[in-house]
């Protein structure tokens, strides 16, 4: 349970920091990551054999989140959404590997999915910090490509 509390703390801190100090791309990314985390928790069957088979609902959430970050990568002037999109691509690949290799230990499946969420939240904090640094240095940080 300690790991869940630590992740929840990181999720709240990164979301609030991006909402308070981030530009529009950081805010959109934060909202998408928060929404996906909440949906993922809500969609897992609390009484079933969790992660003993492919979690279709979480796969769909991850695919939708990947789509958001691909869009952000293409539209924003930021580089960090591309990195998050790459991590989410790896996360989707983990789901697909679960289909191809059903004997994967459920704990390994969970951990392989969860690790990317930690990194994405940490990257959001770094991206927000860099956004503030660019504003301080240049006075402006254009969010969108022209």
What are 78-125's pLDDT values in tens digits?
A: 999 999 999 999 999 999 999 999 999 999 999 999 999 999 999 999
Report d(CA 95, CA 62) in Å as an integer.
9
In the three-class reduction of DSSP (H, G, I as helix; E, B as strand; rest coil), residue 23 is classed as: coil
Helices H / strands E in the chain, number of each? 5, 0
- Percent of the chain with pLDDT strictly greater than 90: 90
Question: In the chain, where are the structural domains located?
Answer: 2-138
User: What pTM did the predictor assign?
Assistant: 0.94
pLDDT band at 142 (very low <50, low <70, confident <90, very high): very high
What are 8-27's pLDDT values in tens digits?
A: 999 999 999 999 999 999 99
């Amino acid at each position: 349970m300690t790991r869940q509390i630590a992740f929840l703390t990181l999720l709240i801190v990164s979301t609030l920091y991006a909402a308070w100090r981030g530009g529009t791309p950081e805010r959109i990314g934060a909202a998408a990551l928060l929404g996906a985390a909440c949906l993922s928790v809500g969609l897992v069957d609390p009484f079933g054999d969790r992660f003993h088979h492919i979690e279709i609902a979480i796969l769909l959430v991850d695919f939708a989140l990947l789509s958001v970050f691909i869009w952000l990568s293409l539209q924003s002037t930021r580089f960090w959404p591309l990195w998050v999109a790459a991590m989410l691509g790896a996360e989707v690949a983990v789901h697909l590997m679960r289909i191809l290799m059903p004997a994967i230990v459920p704990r390994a499946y969970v951990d392989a999915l969860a690790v990317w969420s930690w990194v994405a939240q940490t990257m959001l904090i770094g991206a927000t910090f860099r956004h503030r640094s660019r504003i301080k240095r240049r006075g402006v940080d254009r969010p969108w490509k022209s």
